[in-house]
Structure 1
Amino acid sequence: MKIKTVTFHGAHNYGAVLQAYALQKTLLSLGYENEIIDHRVDKVSMFSKIKMEFKRENIARIYKNLLTLLRYKDKKTMFNKFEKFINEDLVLTKPYDSFEELKTYPPKADVYLAGSDQIWNISNRIRDVFFLKFGESHIKRMSYAASMGIYDLDMEKKMLFGELIKNFDRVSVREAEASEFIKSNYCIESEVHVDPVFLLTKEEWEEIAIEYDTDRKYILCYPLLYSKLLNDSLMKLKQITGYDVIVITTNSREKVYGDIYIRNAGPRDFLGLIKNAEFVLTTSFHGTAFSILFQKRFFSFSVLNSTRITNILGLLGLNNRLIINPDDISIEVVNYTAVNKKLALERQRSLDYLKRIQEK
C-alpha cells in the first residue's frame, strides 16, 4: 500500500524533522510504501535567513545584526546539517515548488496521511496542503497525531476548519483538547495518539544520535522560548551540582545563562546532547519528549500556558516534572519503570491505528 505524507518536514526545527523521520520509519517498518510529499511551506534559503535579521534599524538591532554576521559560520553549519538530514534521512517525493503544482500534478497513492506536529494550527494562516486538499477524491485521507495548538478560533475560522476536516476518513490528533474540540463543534469522532517521536524506542533514537565530545558532566538547556523561571531554576541546579551548563540555541544573543552555547547543532547532534546530559531543562514539547525517551532527569517549563507539555506529562504520570517554582528543582532520579509501561501501551495503541490504515 502506498502512503504519501504531508508534514512540517522541511522546517529547520529539531522536533519537526525528527517527528517526520519517526512517522516515516514507523510506516516503512509496518510494510507500507511511504514518501513525504516534498512541498515545503515558507521555505527560505540560507541567504534569506541571514537577510531577515537586517530588516529593522535601531541600535539594539544593529548590535544583534553584527552578532549574527559574526556567527554566520555557525548558522551555515546548522543549515547544512538540517538540509543533509532532510535530503538523506527522509524519503521524499519530487519537489513541489507551490501548492498549485501539487494540485495539478498530485502524487499517486492509496492513502494521503496528514501529520504530525502543529499542522492544524490555523491561528494565523490556513494551509490547504495539511488538510489534503489535492489529489483524486477516491484516495483515502487520514491524519495522525495532528496538533491544533490553539482552540480559541473566531467563527469564520471555526466554520472553515469544520469544512476542511469533514473530508477525512479517519482523524487522529495529538491532544485530548483537540479531540474534544472537534467532537463538540463538528460531531466528528477522532482518536488521540502520541507524537511520532514516541513511536520509536530509545535504542532506535540512539542509533542516529551523534555523541557530544566531552568527559564532563553537564546540564542541557533547550529554551525554545525564554523563561525567567527556567533561568532561575537553571542557576539553582548549577549551584547544587556544579555541572557545566550547555545551551542549545539559534539566537545570536541568548538571555539564558550558560557556560557553553551551541549554535550549530543539527538533528543528530540534538539527540546526542540530550542522550548524554545529566539533566535537561526545556520549554519545548519535543525537548520534553526526548528527555522522556532517553530517561533523563528533566524539568519542563510551560510558556504561554501551552497544553502540549502538560498533556504528555499527565499522560505518563510525570506531572511533577513541570516546574512552577525554582524550589521545585530536585536532583532525585526519575523512576521510569511506571512511565515506560504507560508509554509502551500508548505506543502500541498508536501502532494499532497505523496498522488499520489498510482497512477499508
Structure 2
Amino acid sequence: MKVGILTFYYNNDNFGGQLQARALVRAVSNIKDVEAEQIPYDYLRSWQKLSYKIRMLKSIGQAFSGGIINGFEYVGSRLKAQKALGDNAVLEDKLKDKLEKRKSAFYEFYTETPHNNEIFDNDTIEKCVSEYDCFICGGDQIWNDWSDWFIYNALDNFCLKFVPPTIQKFSYAPSVPLTKVRPVFIKRLSKNIRKLDAVSVRESSSISVFDKETEKRVLVVADPVLLLNREQWDKESHPVDAHEKYVFCYLLGDGVDTRTAAEKYALKIGCKLVTVPHIVNVNPQDEKFGDIQDFTSGPAEFLSLIRDAEVVVTDSFHATVFSMIYQKPFYVLERTTKVSGGSMSSRLTDFMVEYKLEEQSITAEQLSMTEVIPQIDYSKSDEIWMHRRSESYAYLKNNLQKKQ
C-alpha cells in the first residue's frame, strides 16, 4: 500500500513542522506492507498567479465575510505586518548570508524525507490521486482559522476534499484553534470533516469544536513526533559541534521579558546561552540575544541541541515535546505573540497536563529569579507516552486500508 501525507511540509522552515512531517512518514512506513511519503503542496502558487488587484479584493472580501470586526482586524494586521517588514529590511539584509546557511540545512533535511518528486498546487493537486491507495492529512496546524486559508483553498485541500470517496482518507493529529474561531470557519471545516473516513486531532480540548457540527467520532492521538522513540530520533539527528555547558533557548514569541529572563537564568547557573534567532521573522530583539547564536542548524541538528543541553527554555510546543522525549530539564514560558486563530498556549497546556509536566510552566519573572536546574521525574510521563503511542499506532493501523 502506498500512502500520501499532506501537511506543512513544502517550503516550511519551521523545526517542529519538518520534524513532525518526517515522523509521520517514518511511523506509517514502519507498519507492515505500507510505504508513505509527503506530498509537496504549494498552496500559494495558484494564488500568486492572480493579479495583485484581484488578490487584494478577494482578501478583503474574505476578511469581512467573518464580520466587520474581523475585517478591520485583518486589514490592521496586514498593515502592521507590512510596516514590520519595512522596519526590519535593513537587519534582514545584514543577516542574509547567515539565514541562507540555515535555509540550506532545512533543505537538506527536507530532501531526505521521503516525498513525491512533483510540487502540486490548487490547479494540479488532483493529479496525485492516482498515485496513492490512501491519504492522511495532518498533523500540525493545518486546520487553523486563518482568513487566507479560505481564499488559498488550503483548508479544503488540507481536509483532502480533492480525494474522491472511493479512496480511503483520514486525519492524523491536526491541531485546531480554540479562541477567536469564527462560525464560518467551523461550518467549512465541519463540512469537510464529514467526508473523511476517520477523524483524529491532537488536543482533547479541541473536540468540543466539533461536537455539534459533525457526525464523526473524533479521537485524540499523539503528535506525530511522539510516534518515534528516543533511539529512532537519534537516527534522524545530526551532531552539533560541542559547546561549553549551555542552556538551549528556543523562543518563537517576540517578547523582551522572556529573553532577558533566559539570559539571567543561564548566567546564574553558569552556562552559556545558545539561541536560534530570527526563526519566525527577522526580529530586532534577537539581534544580540544569546552568547552563541546558531544559524547553521536544521531540524536534524535541532534534535542534538535539545538532547545535549543542560536545560531547555522555550515557548515552543515541539521543543517542549522533544525535551520530554530526551528527558531534559526544561522550562516553558508563555508565548507573548498572539496569532490569528488565537493564542498558541492551548496545545502546550494540553500536552503538559496530559504528561504531568505542568510544574515546568514558569513566568519570565520566575525564571529570572531561578538559580537551579529543575529535577524532573519522567517515570509517569514515559508511562503515558508508551500508552499513547500504542493507541495512536492502533488508530493508524485500523485506518490504513484500501477501499474495495
TM-score with structure 1 length normalisation? 0.89
CA contact (8 A) 1:121 1:147 kept: yes
The residue that corresponds to 1:145 in the other structure is: 173
Write the mapping of 1:14-33 to structure 2, written as runs, cut at 5 A.
14-31=15-32, 32-33=34-35
Q: After TM superposition, give the deviation of residue 157 of structure 1 in Å.
A: 2.2
Distance 1:179 1:61 in 2: 40
Q: After TM superposition, give the deviation of residue 132 of structure 1 in Å.
A: 0.4
Q: Cα–Cα, structure 1 residues 104 and 61, in superposed 2: closer, same or farther, change >3 Å?
A: closer
Write the mapping of 1:92-103 to structure 2, written as runs, cut at 5 A.
92-103=115-126
CA contact (8 A) 1:22 1:197 kept: yes
Q: After TM superposition, give the deviation of residue 252 of structure 1 in Å.
A: 4.4
The residue that corresponds to 1:184 in the other structure is: 212
Write the mapping of 1:331-342 to structure 2, written as runs, cut at 5 A.
331-342=373-384
CA contact (8 A) 2:143 2:174 kept: yes
Distance 2:243 2:105 in 1: 24
Give the paired residue count: 346
Any idea what SS the aligned residue of 1:235 has? Answer: helix
Q: In terms of mean alpha carbon deviation, does 296-305 or 246-255 score higher?
A: 246-255
Q: Which runs of 5+ in 2 are unaligned?
A: 46-80
Instruction: Please state if 1:173 is matched with 2:201.
Output: yes
After TM superposition, the runs of 4+ consecutive aligned structure 1 residues lying more than 4 A away are 55-58, 251-254
The residue that corresponds to 1:46 in the other structure is: none
Distance 1:107 1:101 in 2: 12
Distance 2:119 2:283 in 1: 35
| Cα offsets for 1:151-180 (capped at 9, x unmatched) | 533222222121111101100100112222
Any idea what SS the aligned residue of 2:217 has? Answer: coil
Write the mapping of 1:56-71 to structure 2, written as runs, cut at 5 A.
61=86, 64-71=88-95
Q: Kindly indicate whether structure 1 or structure 2 has the higher relative contact order, using CA contacts under 8 Å at least 6 residues apart.
A: 2
Q: Which runs of 5+ in 1 are unaligned?
A: 44-54
Distance 1:221 1:332 in 2: 15
Any idea what SS the aligned residue of 2:247 has? Answer: strand
Write the mapping of 1:1-360 to structure 2, written as runs, cut at 5 A.
1-10=1-10, 11-31=12-32, 32-42=34-44, 61=86, 64-87=88-111, 89-104=112-127, 106-124=129-147, 125-126=149-150, 127=154, 128-250=156-278, 252-255=282-285, 257-303=289-335, 304=338, 305=343, 306-324=345-363, 326-327=365-366, 329=370, 330-358=372-400
Any idea what SS the aligned residue of 1:183 has? Answer: coil
Amino acid at match of 2:285: K
CA contact (8 A) 1:142 1:170 kept: yes
Q: After TM superposition, give the deviation of residue 290 of structure 1 in Å.
A: 1.0
CA contact (8 A) 2:202 2:223 kept: yes
Q: After TM superposition, give the deviation of residue 232 of structure 1 in Å.
A: 4.2
Distance 2:15 2:250 in 1: 11
| Cα offsets for 1:277-313 (capped at 9, x unmatched) | 0011111111111111111110112324420111110
Distance 2:266 2:128 in 1: 55
Amino acid at match of 2:167: I
Any idea what SS the aligned residue of 1:118 has? Answer: coil
| Cα offsets for 1:318-344 (capped at 9, x unmatched) | 000111353364423211112111111
CA contact (8 A) 2:138 2:173 kept: yes
Q: Cα–Cα, structure 1 residues 107 and 178, in superposed 2: closer, same or farther, change >3 Å?
A: farther
The residue that corresponds to 1:52 in the other structure is: none
Any idea what SS the aligned residue of 1:153 has? Answer: coil
